Structure 1
Amino acid sequence: MIEKTLLLVDDEEDIRDILWIPLTDMGFTVYTAENGEEALEIFRKKKPPIVITDIKMPGMDGIELLEMLKREDPDVEVIMITGHGDMNLAIQSFRDEAVDFITKPINVTALQTAINRANEKMIIKQKLKEYTEGLETNLFEKIRLLETVGREIEETKAFTGSAADTERLENLFNNLPCYISIMDREFRLTSVNKMFVEAFGGKPGDHCYRILKRQDEPCRGCTVQRTFTDGKSYQAQMTYTDLSDQPVTVLSWTSAIRNEPDDISQVMVMSTDIAQVDELQDNLSSLGLRIGSVSHGIKGLITGLEGGVYILDSGFSKDDRERIKEGYEIVKQMVGRIKNLVLDLLLYSKDTEINKELIEVMQFAGDVAQVVESKTKEKAIQFVKAFDASLSTIDIDPGLLSSALINVLENAVDACIEDSAKDSHTIRFAVKPENGHILFSVRDDGIGMDRATRENMFTLFFSSKKKKGTGLGLFITKKIVQQHEGTISVDSEKGKGTRIEIRIPKA
């Protein structure tokens, strides 16, 4: 049961008094504070699950209060109150994990909607917690099983050395559903089970940090070293790298293996894959940002559209052709952005099944190029097509893959438009066969990207285009490429340009 208490923070007493009435009518016990410092003091004493705070306040503002609250209790849901001129601050609050914001003058319906959204998110968190606890129960069952392994290894000193004893130990060691490794004080593997080898490789004599971490020295704060030091068992979450160079999130336990009570000869490490829990936590942490980013992205577009219509009406009423043209261009731009956002949301909101068919690559590439070529002519950007004459057919979903390629090409056009440092620009769209794949390459000499942009460009709702982007396009592009069992790579340098390569299996 979610506790029906909340904390209301606003430096204006009238606002606090006005909001107190509908909030108590909704069944809440309402605590009030007139500034951020007082709010923190009340929060630490009362621990309300919901906080509603104004953004602009003297002293500690709402953004700083949000950050402090989230540091003290990541589960608290915070709703921001903002004036119409504070949109950028409101959007910033979503990056700091606010659940929603409401604008002044405050509408009771909007207030109720924001609180409902906070409640829904808390319910989701509770269900996730219950689910995670169920997974943890399974993990603890594995721990008990792994402790059996430790006892069996301890008992090897009493084994007769018979073939039956040896076989029993090997079967127990190899058939456990987790990764097991045993290592000496130099972090050299002395034994690994079957599941470990299948996932990470490795053999006796290899250093664990080279096999699991692809690094040249032991990990800082190594739990194996700690167990060798004091004989205690340690638990840690860490990320290994498997044979295909993919990260594997695991929960690991260490256990000392002793020759004598005070003589630890080896340490056993038992690890289980917790990627499912990790993914659920990541999804939950971005839930508020996803809802907020989309909601306020749409609000921003509507505001822009209304502004364009206002300028258009003003131009018609005054017979001002320049204002009419200005308003028309704004409306045209907003309609285009709304269309792109809706299409991106439709693609993102469902796990689209791909419907593959055998397609002539040359024709497919030509159709994709044709969509973008008209835009490059409008902006005086040279568009070069380089299609290999030996191209034959490819098994793809033409609708989805063309959307991905067009998105990459349109980003190249935008990068050239934004680059005012050069007099002319060129985009090169190349397609050729390569080792059982078809390589689609898009290269531009536009503004390029810095390291932070390159690392985040495929992240959901990340956009380097500021207000022009939805933050969905490249995320969806990567998703489509992966659905085709392909790969996408990026090479870019700030001020010089970008090359994006997509490789799709022929069949």
Structure 2
Amino acid sequence: MKEPAQDLKIQLKRTAEEYKLLFEQVPCYVVVIDKEFKIVRANKLASDMIKNLKGEYCYSALKGRKEKCIECTARRTFEDGMQHTGHHIWKLSNQGTLNMHVITGPLKNEDGNYDLVMEMAVDISKTVKLQDNLEVAHNYLESLINTSMDGIIGISKKGKVEVFNSAARSLFDIGQGQIVSLEDINTMLPKGFLAQVSEGKGHVYLPEAELKRSNGDKFYGRLIGNKLMGSKETIGMAFSVHDISQMKKLEKEKIEAERMAIVGQTVAGLAHGIKNLINALDGGIYFLKSGIGKGDIKRIHKGIETLVRNIERIRLFSKAFLNYSRFRAITPALNNPADIVTEVVESFAAKISENNIKIKLQVDPQLALVPLDYEKIHECVTNLVGNAIDAFADVDKDRDKKIWVTAYEEEGAIYIEVKDNGCGIDKDHRKRLFNKFFTTKGLEGTGLGLLMTQKIIQEHGGNISVLSKKGEGSIFRLRLIRGRLPKISD
């Protein structure tokens, strides 16, 4: 049997070898420092990185310093015998540097005293670099958000307002130190918009939204809401607000200018129409007088026919202009444009059949209700369909007469189109369609139908356009922008 002392000696030797192996192979840099801050031992990883460590001062060998470090963790451990951690920068022999997370602890004897400290260091250079890059990215994004001219709002998954940039504070009249809550955001944005973004997928876009400042004042903005998604779940919401109040003001001024222009065109057209009628009456009187003077019955009849024809024209002209000048203010209510277009087409059924015309009606079944004057828009569409029917008056009888009437919505605007393959309008006449009492229908027309249509559409904040080619047909298009439609009175 082995002696107990021999067994203990073997066990101690084995333990020493294990500790030595652990010291050398541990995956971090390990050095042992004495009270003079000299390195008395270093493991393989530390020795391979920095040569000739043993016997050198730690602050000199590891950090290239001539004096002790103020932030030295080893010194703090020598002072109180406790473990300490810190962030040190080691300088390598190749002029490179490493960011180290350092832990120091005392190497105590059996009696509890110690004169050595073990320092273990882990290279966190990649982590520090990544952290620096993240900080740069964060600062960049923060600067981008804060300097944006658009209001940027960010809401976390838990409903906390995490981002509310300077532009947003200016738009909604919120002080820099004032905290903004989810309830505040819900009040500022259009009713139901927050829930629509939260419950939807992707982004929600409102080209013209009515928003509310903290003091209750309203303004118009272009609003985008996004539901933010992580890899598997929702992480929050983001909103962008662009102030379009100035643009709305300019649009209103433009519409008003267009309305005033129509008034001017009306006066000019009236003067032009009256002048033409006076000339026509003068011609009739001339034939009548000269016929009486010469006793020429045919000439007298011609003068009377001319007077009668133009007096009838005066009657039609006066009636149409009176209706135009008495134009009542529009009274908007929620209506479906598809219903109006369908009713107009149905009202022309007999006339279309009599003239052997094929008409195709196509309306978008998804058209939503919009605020407009049903009767006035009905009048506009009636004018356009009536003009399309009249466009076949002078075409070849063998032509396959067709009219297409469509109603649809695209990018926040309602479109009503009336297309025909009739006689078309030449370039000179197209220029005169909307600025004078101009008609191509002779005695049958007054030239006020399209002016009336234009005025009604402008009262609704929209516009009318025409595409036409002589001999091939025309397309008249009404455009009603949702954001510019009149408000319904309470």
Do the two structures share a fold, i.e. TM-score over 0.5?
no
TM-score range, shorter chain: 0.3 to 0.5
Of Structure 1 and Structure 2, the greater helix share is in 1
* Greater gyration radius: 2
Q: How high is the TM-score relative to the length of structure 2? A: 0.37
Q: How high is the TM-score relative to the length of structure 1? A: 0.36
